[in-house]
Amino acid sequence: MQTAIHPRRHAAHCSNCAMRHLCMPEGLTPEETEKVEDVISATRAVRRGEALFRTGDPFDSLYAIRSGSIKSVVSRDGGREQVTGLYLGGDALGLDGIGENRHMSTAIALEDSSVCIVPYARFERVCRETSSIQRRLHQMMSREIIRETNQLTTLGTLRADERVARLLLDLSARYTRRGYAAAEFTLRMTRDDIGSYLGITLETVSRTLSRFQQRGLIDAHGKLIRIRDFDGLRAV
């Protein structure tokens, strides 16, 4: 697979990026956004199935998704792997690499995607100069912690159908904030990935979606999902 890296002068800037309100510039002034922009060295295209980075790779950049979607996976002893995160446009990847100076997970594109490359050393320097940008980085890291805490409660307390319902509602909310329809979207992950993400098997995912459909909660045609009864899903 071929990776296309575009130097910054060819890359779109934050100021005209569709994701700017969800991405690193969130809450920053235009001047501060420009400082963030100056850190971004390039964009990179990642094709479906390709890895943006892998466990053990030296860490030197964070990534922000411009378009597409990316899953993070960690391999466990014995080839088995677990999906630990699902990232959409505007989301930041690679925060887990800071602690050990190497990436602690593998990031794989779920569809052809594009990311901004944020060299970490330069970003840290900018954070020291501008407290609002510093605060924004800390906020992003903290929110990643909160996201994982949430996922822990999903895996720790919910039954299979509750987990699937929660995922659908979560995706709906996230797509809504990105300007897409709340009720209709395409699952980018396979049933296997979804099961791994939710701590259940792919068969259980499939059966659960079928049951939701029978009960009139959703329409599901393969990866295309239409939510027909939000309250019903919340009450699962």
Partner DNA sequence: CGTTACGTTGATTCCTATCAATACGAGTGG
Partner DNA sequence: CCACTCGTATTGATAGGAATCAACGTAACG
Binding positions for DNA, 8-37, rule CB under 7 A = none
Closest contact distance (angstroms) between CB of 15 and a copy of itself is: 24
d(CA 53, CA 102) in angstroms, rounded, equals: 10
The entry of DNA, a copy of itself, none near residue 100 (CB within 5 to 8 angstroms by kind) is a copy of itself
- Give me the 190-219 binding string for DNA, x by CB under 7 A, dash otherwise: xxx--x---xxxxxxxxx-xx---------
- Closest to DNA by CB, 11 vs 107, is 107
Which positions touch a copy of itself (CB under 8 A)? 74, 76, 80, 82, 84, 95-100, 104-105, 124-125, 127-129, 131, 134-135, 137-146, 148-149, 151-153, 155-157, 196-199
Say how many CA atoms lie within 13 Å of 231 toward its Cβ: 0
The entry of DNA, a copy of itself, none near residue 18 (CB within 5 to 8 angstroms by kind) is none
- What are the E-state strand segments in the chain? 4-7, 42-46, 51-53, 61-67, 70-75, 81-87, 92-93, 106-109, 113-119, 184-186, 218-221, 224-227
The entry of DNA, a copy of itself, none near residue 148 (CB within 5 to 8 angstroms by kind) is a copy of itself
- Closest to DNA by CB, 150 vs 190, is 190
The entry of DNA, a copy of itself, none near residue 191 (CB within 5 to 8 angstroms by kind) is DNA
Q: Which of 117, 102, 65, 63 is nearest to 87 (CA)?
A: 65
Return the amino acid letter for 233. Answer: L
- Closest to DNA by CB, 39 vs 164, is 164
Six-digit token pair at 165? Answer: 């319902």
The verdict on 159 binding DNA (CB under 7 A) reads yes
d(CA 211, CA 213) in angstroms, rounded, equals: 5
Helix/strand number for the chain, H first, E second = 7, 12
Helix or strand or coil: residue 94?
A: coil
The verdict on 164 binding DNA (CB under 7 A) reads no
Positions touching DNA (CB under 7 A) are 159-161, 190-192, 195, 199-207, 209-210, 220-223
